[in-house]
Amino acid sequence: MVGQGVLLECLDSPDVDSVVVLGRSACGHHHEKLREIIHRDFFDYASLEEDLTGVDACFFCLGVSAAGMSERKYSHLTHDLTLAAADILARLNLQMTFCYVSGAGTDSSEKGRVMWARIKGATENRLLEMPFKAAFMFRPGYIQPLKGIRSKTRIYQTLYSVLSPLYPVLRSLFPRQVTTTEKVGLAMIQVARNGYPKSLIDPGDINDLAESYSPASTRSL
């Protein structure tokens, strides 16, 4: 869901010259600056080195729910999978900015009781140690999908359908805790273009970055 929102903002932004989407199935969008690569093994990118070279930024939005999943499997699909992509991108693109969608409540100490938060924290820490130009860990809380975007996880989509009419109320009551798919996308473009003094980006930061975003015609991604 987040990836769909980020993609739409990248396609709309004049700051982004081209977009490479890497996925297991077609994203369903067609655009002159979009190039799509269907790839099945997200732990092995050896065949894609040429395609992944010369990239300015990676917006890594892939993730799974920890519900009903063992710690070992969740770690494999969250920590190991993310670092497999980050390793090759860091080697091929030393001037890359890497943006990772984590989550509010992530445990940077890696020692807390909440399994998903420990693993997300470990993933963040490893990414921040890698030789990217910059790395930003996005920690959104509640994200309202916009522009017709729907979650592929049924229970999440049901939740969004119920809460959608209440979003204006949530935004009014908790302006620093809720955001939208549109704002996440704009915030990622903003930090990739201009950087940010914080590496851990909370919902308030996401909203501030999105609201301050103004396309710069002289610079692009």
Q: What is the pLDDT of residue 37?
A: 95
By the 8 A CB rule, do 48 and 37 touch?
yes
Query: Which tops the pLDDT comparison, 146 or 108?
Result: 108
Residue 55's Cβ-count burial label (10 Å; 0-12, 13-18, 19+) is middle
How far is it, in rounded angstroms, from Cα 100 to Cα 171? Answer: 24
Q: What is the pLDDT of residue 20?
A: 96
* Percentage of the chain modeled with pLDDT above 70: 86
Q: What is the pLDDT of residue 196?
A: 97
Pairing state of beta strands 97-101 and 142-144? Answer: unpaired
How far is it, in rounded angstroms, from Cα 62 to Cα 176? Answer: 24
Q: What is the pLDDT of residue 218?
A: 46
For each of the domains in the chain, give its residue range(s) and CATH number, in order of start. Answer: 2-212 (3.40.50.720)
How far is it, in rounded angstroms, from Cα 125 to Cα 40? Answer: 27
pLDDT digits (tens, 9 = 90+) for 122-160: 999 999 999 999 999 999 988 888 776 766 666 666 666
Provide the pLDDT confidence category of residue 216 given band limits of 50, 70 and 90. Answer: confident
Q: What is the average pLDDT value for the chain, to the nearest integer?
A: 89
Predicted structure pTM score: 0.88
